């Protein structure tokens, strides 16, 4: 017992020493501390030191939200592969390569997802047309930088992307100052030439100034840095990665590791083939030489022998060429077959969607004609209370039954193809939460608070999954004896619009004085505003005509429905499809999203187990006497 206690004390003292001396230690020393003794403080120091560079790489290729996933995956790969980094001092260059690969993998996954699913996205940032050099440089910089030879790339990474002086870079690499300066200058010139070949004219000096300026401003968001440090230190301590990060980050990490393995395997195969080829060539040359010497010693009657050997050598070379051609043809055939399989899978997915749509339409046609709105509303309470407050202080507003056009008109700016306008009739009124669920309310029901933003009163709970929201609803029903649930997608849009038909319930555009979103982006005739980079207390901004706050921005709100295409005809009390594409609906936009994603009609979708600071919850309930009055809320896995 005493020995165990003493071991823990020694471990803590060592951790304190690393925390104080980490800034003075080299990359190689920090990495060696982690590899040999699994020192968490050494790992944390590496995250802090190289985080801005890694974050800059991820943000050049990805949106803020997707960059978070790639950033975490990069340092999770470091935990797994730290021992393989040789030399140790090259960890910065190594992290650059991993970050670039993680960002490329994430971008590929997003592109495939977009190809399979219409507008079921993680709300990527829209393209912004800008004449600034950085806007032109950003998409292609890392592609060309990653293709430079190591000695030039590492100089640019250390000096231009991480902001080190040439003297510091030289000390870290163990090279003379002049050598590093030469590599840096040559690397900048080579990079400028590569970029010129891509249509971007920039001198080496201009390129260096732009990179240095952007590196200085590439601060990692505090929330991203803290969550990454927590995750990687726990993984290093032996905890399962799937319990600490989202499924997307875990999958991205495994994808990068797989890519690294395949790259190493292909490199090994190429080297092996080259060695075999060289050995064969040398052996062949030696054989010919030996044959020629022997021939010189023979009589004139055997002068034709070298010609015979040359002919045999030519025959062997022809056979080798034919074999290589056959290999190339086989590789081309495999590639063509892969493309055909991919196309067939896409066609199959398309036909499945058409079949599901046809089944849905047939089901609707078989239903008896719906009662008109007047008859349907007669079954509702004649004069329900306009406001209601439950036992834990959650306020609700009465939303009357009615009809509206769900979706967006074809001329609405930035509309999605999946926002098909159609008439929806809701035959029952219901109560909708006036505010998003706050962290205090979530804590009271669930006895935990998963939120990444805190410190202020009445902040909305964030970082909750769809499945956790179902558990919250279940406990809230038991506590308060009401039929609480998530709103359906139709109920959410009906409540958000509150009788309006414009993109926002405010009108044709939106400002950062009206909602919490990325105010540096504009929609329509709007103006640039404030990007707060965090959630704001509920009720900060004006309510809609029915008294509901934060229907645009702050946090995305989970809905009950699976995400799929809208029906092509009018519907009554829609509950969403019986099954979807492994995504459920999220609505309303968020604190870090472009205002186009805050529109009343915008439809987002994501996996029910997805967790990040964009996702929150709003509650509604029917006035009913049995659980049958509430839509099904089976857990989606």
Instruction: Check residue 580 and give its pLDDT.
Output: 61
**In the predicted model, is pLDDT for residue 438 greater than 80?**
yes
Instruction: Check residue 389 and give its pLDDT.
Output: 94
**In the predicted model, is pLDDT for residue 181 greater than 50?**
yes
Task: Give CA–CA dist 553/328, Å, rounded.
Answer: 54
Instruction: Check residue 37 and give its pLDDT.
Output: 82
Instruction: Check residue 412 and give its pLDDT.
Output: 94
Residue 123 or 428, more confident: 428
User: Average model confidence (pLDDT) for the chain?
Assistant: 80
Strands 615-616 and 556-562: parallel
Strands 422-426 and 430-433: unpaired
Instruction: Check residue 174 and give its pLDDT.
Output: 81
Give the model's confidence band at 168: pLDDT under 50 very low, under 70 low, under 90 confident, else very high. confident
Give the model's confidence band at 77: pLDDT under 50 very low, under 70 low, under 90 confident, else very high. very high
Contacts (Cβ under 8 Å, ≥6 apart) of 446: 468, 471, 472, 475
Instruction: Check residue 576 and give its pLDDT.
Output: 85
Closest CA to 437 of 563, 535, 512: 535
**In the predicted model, is pLDDT for residue 225 greater than 80?**
yes
- In the chain, what percentage of residues exceed pLDDT 90? 34
**In the predicted model, is pLDDT for residue 368 greater than 50?**
no
Contacts (Cβ under 8 Å, ≥6 apart) of 529: 511, 512, 513, 519, 520
User: Could you read off the pLDDT of 90-114 as tens digits, one per residue?
Assistant: 888 899 999 989 988 888 888 776 6
Q: What is the mean pLDDT of residues 237-255?
A: 78
DSSP secondary structure letter of residue 520: T
**In the predicted model, is pLDDT for residue 28 greater than 90?**
no
Residue 126 sits at φ, ψ, to 5 deg, of: -70, 160
The overall pTM is greater than 0.85: no
Task: Give CA–CA dist 74/95, Å, rounded.
Answer: 7
Q: Which strands sit side by side in the sheet containing 430-433, from one edge to the other?
A: 387-389, 395-399, 430-433, 620-621, 484-485
Instruction: Check residue 153 and give its pLDDT.
Output: 86
As given in the structure block, the two tokens for residue 172 are 């870290």
What 3-state class would DSSP assign to 563? coil
Q: What is the mean pLDDT of residues 606-619?
A: 92
- Orientation of helix 204-217 relative to helix 40-61, angle to 10°: 120
Residue 23 or 121, more confident: 23
What 3-state class would DSSP assign to 220? coil
**In the predicted model, is pLDDT for residue 123 greater than 80?**
no
Instruction: Check residue 625 and give its pLDDT.
Output: 43
Give the model's confidence band at 142: pLDDT under 50 very low, under 70 low, under 90 confident, else very high. confident
Residue 326 or 531, more confident: 531
Closest CA to 246 of 615, 636, 562, 609: 609
What 3-state class would DSSP assign to 260? helix
Instruction: Check residue 484 and give its pLDDT.
Output: 95
Contacts (Cβ under 8 Å, ≥6 apart) of 88: 27, 28, 29, 31, 32
- Orientation of helix 222-236 relative to helix 64-81, angle to 10°: 30
DSSP string across 338-376: HHHHHHHHHHHHHHHHHHHHHHHHHHHHHSPPPPPHHHH
Under a CB-based contact definition with an 8 Å cutoff, are residues 65 and 72 in contact? no
Instruction: Check residue 298 and give its pLDDT.
Output: 56
Of the listed ranges 129-143, 168-182, 318-332, 453-467, the one predicted with least confidence: 129-143
Of the listed ranges 201-210, 298-307, 411-420, 560-569, the one predicted with least confidence: 298-307
**In the predicted model, is pLDDT for residue 124 greater than 50?**
no
Give the model's confidence band at 323: pLDDT under 50 very low, under 70 low, under 90 confident, else very high. confident
Burial class (CB in 10 A: 0-12, 13-18, 19+), 313: middle
**In the predicted model, is pLDDT for residue 62 greater than 70?**
yes
**In the predicted model, is pLDDT for residue 138 greater than 50?**
yes
Instruction: Check residue 603 and give its pLDDT.
Output: 93
Of the listed ranges 342-346, 382-386, 544-548, the one predicted with least confidence: 342-346
User: Could you read off the pLDDT of 504-522 as tens digits, one per residue?
Assistant: 999 999 999 999 999 999 9
Q: What is the mean pLDDT of residues 56-72?
A: 87
Q: What is the mean pLDDT of residues 550-569?
A: 93
Length of the chain: 637
Task: For residue 256, give Cα distances in angstroms to 49, 73, 242.
Answer: 22, 8, 16
As given in the structure block, the two tokens for residue 478 are 């038991």
As given in the structure block, the two tokens for residue 581 are 């594409």
Instruction: Check residue 338 and give its pLDDT.
Output: 66
Instruction: Check residue 351 and give its pLDDT.
Output: 67
**In the predicted model, is pLDDT for residue 601 greater than 80?**
yes
**In the predicted model, is pLDDT for residue 431 greater than 90?**
yes
Give the model's confidence band at 290: pLDDT under 50 very low, under 70 low, under 90 confident, else very high. low
Instruction: Check residue 249 and give its pLDDT.
Output: 85
Within 395-452, strands assigned E span 395-399, 402-406, 422-426, 430-433
- In the chain, what percentage of residues exceed pLDDT 70? 72
> 556 pairs with which residues across the strands?
615
């Amino acid at each position: 017992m005493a020995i165990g206690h003493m071991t823990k004390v020694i471990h803590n003292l060592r951790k304190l020493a690393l925390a104080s001396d980490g800034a003075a230690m080299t990359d190689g020393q920090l990495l060696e501390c982690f590899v040999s003794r699994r020192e968490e403080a050494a790992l944390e120091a590496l995250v802090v030191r190289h985080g801005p560079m890694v974050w800059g790489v991820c943000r050049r290729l990805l949106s803020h939200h997707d960059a978070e996933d790639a950033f975490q995956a990069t340092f999770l790969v470091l935990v797994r592969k730290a021992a393989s980094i040789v030399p140790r001092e090259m960890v910065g260059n190594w992290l650059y390569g991993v970050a670039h690969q993680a960002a490329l993998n994430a971008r590929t996954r997003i592109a495939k997802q977009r190809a399979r699913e219409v507008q079921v996205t993680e709300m990527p940032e829209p393209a912004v047309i800008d004449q600034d050099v950085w806007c032109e440089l950003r998409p292609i910089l890392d592609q060309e930088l990653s293709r430079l030879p190591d000695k030039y790339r590492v100089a640019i990474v250390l000096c231009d992307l991480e902001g080190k002086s040439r003297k510091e870079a030289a000390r870290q690499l163990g090279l003379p100052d002049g050598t590093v300066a030469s590599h840096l200058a040559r690397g900048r010139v080579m990079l400028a030439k590569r970029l010129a070949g891509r249509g971007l004219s920039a001198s080496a000096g201009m390129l260096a100034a732009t990179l240095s300026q952007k590196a200085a401003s590439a601060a990692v968001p505090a929330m991203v840095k803290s969550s990454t440090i927590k995750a990687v230190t726990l993984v290093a301590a032996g905890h399962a990665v799937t319990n600490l990060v989202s499924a997307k980050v875990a999958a991205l990490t495994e994808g990068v590791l797989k890519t690294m393995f395949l790259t190493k395997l292909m490199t090994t195969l190429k080297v092996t083939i080259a060695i075999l080829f060289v050995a064969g060539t040398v052996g062949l040359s030696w054989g010919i030489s030996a044959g020629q010497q022997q021939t010189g010693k023979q009589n004139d009657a055997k002068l034709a022998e070298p010609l015979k050997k040359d002919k045999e050598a030519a025959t062997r070379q022809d056979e080798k060429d034919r074999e290589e051609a056959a290999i190339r043809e086989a590789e081309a055939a495999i590639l063509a077959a892969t493309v055909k399989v991919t196309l067939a899978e896409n066609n199959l997915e398309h036909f499945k969607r058409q079949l599901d749509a046809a089944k849905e339409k047939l089901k609707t046609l078989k239903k008896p004609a719906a009662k008109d709105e007047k008859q349907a509303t007669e079954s509702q309470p004649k004069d329900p209370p306009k406001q209601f407050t439950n036992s834990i202080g959650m306020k609700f507003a009465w939303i009357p039954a009615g009809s509206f056009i769900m979706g967006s008109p074809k001329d609405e700016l930035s509309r999605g193809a999946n926002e098909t306008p159609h008439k929806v009739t809701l035959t029952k009124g219901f109560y909708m939460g006036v505010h998003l669920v706050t962290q205090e309310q979530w804590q009271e029901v669930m006895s935990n608070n998963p939120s990444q933003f805190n410190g202020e009163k009445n902040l909305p709970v964030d970082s909750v999954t769809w499945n956790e929201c179902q558990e919250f609803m279940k406990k809230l029903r038991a506590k308060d004896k009401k039929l609480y649930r998530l709103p359906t997608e139709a109920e959410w849009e009906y409540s958000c619009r509150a009788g309006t038909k414009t993109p926002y319930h405010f009108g044709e555009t939106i400002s950062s004085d009206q909602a919490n979103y990325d105010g540096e982006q504009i929609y329509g005739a709007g103006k640039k505003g404030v990007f707060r980079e965090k959630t704001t207390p509920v009720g900060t901004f004006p309510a809609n005509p029915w008294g509901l706050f934060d229907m645009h921005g702050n946090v995305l709100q989970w809905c009950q429905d699976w995400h799929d295409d809208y029906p092509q005809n009018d519907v009554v009390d829609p509950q969403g499809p019986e099954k979807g594409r492994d995504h459920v609906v999220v609505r309303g936009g968020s604190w870090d999203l472009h205002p186009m994603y805050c529109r009343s009609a915008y439809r987002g979708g994501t996996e029910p187990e997805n967790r990040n600071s964009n996702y929150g919850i709003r509650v509604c309930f029917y006035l009913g006497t049995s659980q049958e009055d509430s839509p099904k809320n089976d857990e989606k896995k």
